[in-house]
Every structure is written in C-alpha cells, then in structure tokens.
A and B are shown apart, each in its own frame.
Chain A
C-alpha cells in the first residue's frame, strides 16, 4: 500500500471519508445531458477565492486613508515586487466575476433552471449578483483616484432621487455631504469585511439549496423538457444512470476553469489597461471634476437609463422595477416548459431585454 493510500485509510477509518467520497463525488450522479454551462458556478467559486486571496495580499500594503490611499496603490504597482500582478488580478478579477455571473444567470434563465422548486436557488443567486455589484462599487473608491472619486460621487448621488429619504440616504452613504475621507472609511469596511463575509454566507446557502434540491436537468436533447414537480412534497432530483461528478464532471469543471484562466491571464498580460481609463492614474481632487466621467461597463446601462428619463426618480423607479421583476421571476413565470425554443414569450422578452441592455450600455459608453 502506498504512503498516500495509507494516509487516506488512516483518515477514512476515523471519519468515514470513503462514504463521503461515495456520496458527494463518485456516487453523486448528474444528468447525462449536462453541458458546459453548468460549470459557471465552479468558475465563480474559483474567482471569489482569488479575489479574497489577492484582496488579503493588497491589504498588506494598502492604506485606507484619503491622504495615503492613492500613494499606497502606486507603491504597490511600481515598487512592491509583483504588486502590479496582485493588483491587476484583483481589479480584472472583479470585472470577470461580474461577466461570468452574467453568463451563469443567462444560462439558468435560458435552461429554465430557476423554475420551481428552485426559487430559493434563484433568489440566493440573485442576491449574490447584487452583492457582487455592491462589492465592485465599494472597491472602486478605494484607490482614491479621480476616476474612483467621481464615479462614487455620481453613483451615491443617484440615490438622492428616492423621494423623502433620498437626501438623508446620500449623506448616510457618504458619511458627510460630499464624498470624502469618511466615505473611504465606510466603503473600506463594507468592501473588506461586511460584503465579502455576507457573500460567503449566501454562497453557503446557495450551495445548500443546490445540495438539497439536486442538480436540474437541462432541457436539451430530451423528448419531454417539462418541469414535472407539482409542489406535492419535498423531492431530491436524482439522476439514476447519470454521469458521476468525480471524475467526469470535475474534468469539465477543470477544463472550463483552465479556459477562464487563459482569458483572464490574457487580459492581465496583454491588455492590462482595458479596465483602467486615464483618470484612474490621477489622484482624487475634490475640486476638479474630470471630463466625461463614466462608470464601469456593468453600470453603463443603469447610468444611461438615468440619463434618458426626464426625471431621475423615474429612471431609478424603472431600474428598481426591472430588478424586482428579475428577482421574482420564478414566482411570475410558472410555466412547466423549460426548453427555450418552446417558450416563445420568454425568448422574445429575454432576447429583447439582452439587446436593450447592450444598446443602453453602448449608448452610455458613447454618450
């Protein structure tokens, strides 16, 4: 018996590791028609882990003080060995997390995986999406550059359109009348402790729901792609005769993660400034607004929506309504059919919505 096998046996007789491996890995069967889109969640877990690791490393040199923050970031970029790599991994990784989250959510939408009994999976996933956006927004301020300062000014200002409490909310978010050192302090605490720990907890809940309900069956390649669950009682969706999670689907997960890394590292090494406009390299100046300040790409559609409506409140209300509609989608769309091509109304709304979102994003970029 090899040394590694002896260690495994030693652990196995104590905690029953073999039984756990059988239940959760080799004996955990997935639908035979499972596809590559089911590996998005694994990629997101890897990204979140990298974000936490690089975030902790950045904390070693970053100083959350309005007078020192920008200098500490330039010090990390220019003086600390491989500081540029750690920082770029963190900054580019945050964009990638939003991008892959979009892919994950779109695949769930098109395959009808959000439908009952998976309402809680969708709700927890949607909460994670909003939390990731909040994480990106709060992290954007921390370098204390012109870009971060004025993007935060605009973003926090839009909350002011909420009737009655808007003014108070803006001041509460900023910790003062304007974005300043107090804003940096509270955004730092939110970005480093509160939001990541909440995300970790909601990821736990998301995986728990997945584990209890079982993996959904993709609607492709089946004669009958209808949702059979009637709400009669709790049922774990098992897949007898399916493919084992380990090693079969782990190989797909690893392949997807490798492809993701190729893309991610490609951006870091060959297009490092794609997410850094010129204003990101100028320290914040509260008395000089730069020209054409724009939010990150994933907030461009929201930014343009606020601009096209005659009142800011209306723009905000429309966004709130769309967000609420998407969050509650499993409760609104009660149809049993899961195949996208057999759901014409869904297809029209989904494709139309995506095109509208992309159009607003491009319009926002060039406006």
Chain B
C-alpha cells in the first residue's frame, strides 16, 4: 500500500520534473532563436540605415553675384532643400524650401514675391510667413552672413 503511494508520488514528481525541464529547454531554444534572429537582423538594419552625410553642419557658400534682385537660388542644406532670395528692395532672405504642410518644395513667385506650394496651394510671404492655405507653420529661417562677395549660409 505504502509502496504504491510512493510510486504514484514519484510518478507525479517525475512528470512535474519533466514538464519543468521541457519548459526550461523550450525557453533556452526560444532564447537561442531570438539571439539568432537578432544576429541576422542587426547587420540588415545597419546595411539599410541611412548613411550620415559628411556635409552635416557644413556651411554653404553662394557668390553674391549669382543672385540678382527679385530672384531665388535653390540649394541643398543639411540634406534638405533650401532657398536664398534677394527681394526687389535688395534684402536677402534664406529659408528652408520645405513646405511645413506635407513636405513639398515651395516655388518662388517672382511677380508677387511670394512662395507657393504647388501641392496644396499653401502661400507664404518672401519672409516665410503663412498667408493662406493649409501650412501650419512659417518656413524655417536659416542664418547667413555676407562676406567678401559671398553669402555663407549656416
């Protein structure tokens, strides 16, 4: 009688132990697979990640003579489109050319001295202030200096 109980007890103990061992080995296998997946995913992520451009933080130089009154000069600044304009009164303005609505590049309207975003009709003044349309914010202003006949943005 007592022997039978002991056997049953041991059997249950063995079953419990086997179940625990199976759960432990399952967890080990899961961890191993996760490590393998990570080891494969990391190089792929690094391979596809955007490369840091060397010109980050660099200044852009534009000869002053290239920009006559009423005209605009588009250029790339820190990986984004930017624009430099010389108003009819001779004032210089440097702005980000990326519309604050959905990221299209605004176009300079020489006759009205305004920027128009052709995507959804956003209208800005020559200083980047929103006149009408969906843009939520004015165009970002960029700092610049003029020295030795060059306009240096940044």
**Residue among B43, B47, B48, B51 with the highest chain A CB neighbour number at 10 A:** B47
Distance in angstroms between the alpha carbons of A175 and B124 in the assembled complex: 54
Interface bracket on A? under 10
A60 touches B48 (CB 8 A): yes
Distance in angstroms between the alpha carbons of A110 and B44 in the assembled complex: 40
Distance in angstroms between the alpha carbons of A140 and B2 in the assembled complex: 76
Distance in angstroms between the alpha carbons of A273 and B30 in the assembled complex: 34
Q: Is the interface of A mostly helix, strand, loop or mixed?
A: helix
Residues in B whose Cβ lies below 8 Å from that of A81: 43, 46-47, 49
CB distance from A295 to the nearest CB of B (A): 30
Distance in angstroms between the alpha carbons of A80 and B44 in the assembled complex: 11
Residues in A whose Cβ lies below 8 Å from that of B43: 81-82, 85-86
Is A358's CB within 8 Å of the partner chain B? no
Is A55's CB within 8 Å of the partner chain B? no
Is A341's CB within 8 Å of the partner chain B? no
What is the chain A residue whose CB lies nearest that of B33? Answer: A254
**Residue among B43, B46, B51 with the highest chain A CB neighbour number at 10 A:** B43
How many contacts A-B (CB < 8 Å)? 20
CB distance from A5 to the nearest CB of B (A): 14
CB distance from A178 to the nearest CB of B (A): 35
The contact string, 1 if C-beta is below 8 Å from chain A, for chain B 24-58, is 00000000000000000001101111010000000
The residues in A between 54 and 104 inclusive whose CB is less than 8 angstroms from any CB of B are 57, 60, 80-83, 85-86
What is the chain A residue whose CB lies nearest that of B44? Answer: A57
CB distance from B33 to the nearest CB of A (A): 10
Residues in A whose Cβ lies below 8 Å from that of B44: 57, 82, 86
Distance in angstroms between the alpha carbons of A82 and B47 in the assembled complex: 6
Pick 20 A–B contacts, CB within 8 A, sort by A: A57-B44, A57-B47, A57-B48, A60-B47, A60-B48, A80-B47, A80-B51, A81-B43, A81-B46, A81-B47, A81-B49, A82-B43, A82-B44, A82-B46, A82-B47, A83-B47, A85-B43, A86-B43, A86-B44, A86-B47
Excluding A80-B47, A86-B47, 15 further A-B contacts by CB distance (< 8 Å) are A57-B44, A57-B48, A60-B48, A80-B51, A81-B46, A81-B47, A81-B49, A82-B43, A82-B44, A82-B46, A82-B47, A83-B47, A85-B43, A86-B43, A86-B44
Distance in angstroms between the alpha carbons of A57 and B47 in the assembled complex: 8
Distance in angstroms between the alpha carbons of A81 and B48 in the assembled complex: 8
The residues in A between 6 and 63 inclusive whose CB is less than 8 angstroms from any CB of B are 57, 60
What is the chain B residue whose CB lies nearest that of A85? Answer: B43
What is the chain B residue whose CB lies nearest that of A50? Answer: B40
Residues in A whose Cβ lies below 8 Å from that of B48: 57, 60
What is the chain B residue whose CB lies nearest that of A61? Answer: B47
Residues in A whose Cβ lies below 8 Å from that of B47: 57, 60, 80-83, 86
Residues in B whose Cβ lies below 8 Å from that of A86: 43-44, 47
10 nearest A-B pairs in the assembled complex, by CB-CB distance: A82-B43, A81-B46, A82-B47, A82-B46, A85-B43, A86-B47, A81-B47, A80-B47, A57-B47, A83-B47
The contact string, 1 if C-beta is below 8 Å from chain A, for chain B 95-113, is 0000000000000000000
CB distance from B34 to the nearest CB of A (A): 15
Distance in angstroms between the alpha carbons of A62 and B153 in the assembled complex: 35
Distance in angstroms between the alpha carbons of A83 and B47 in the assembled complex: 6
Residues in B whose Cβ lies below 8 Å from that of A60: 47-48
The residues in A between 148 and 176 inclusive whose CB is less than 8 angstroms from any CB of B are none
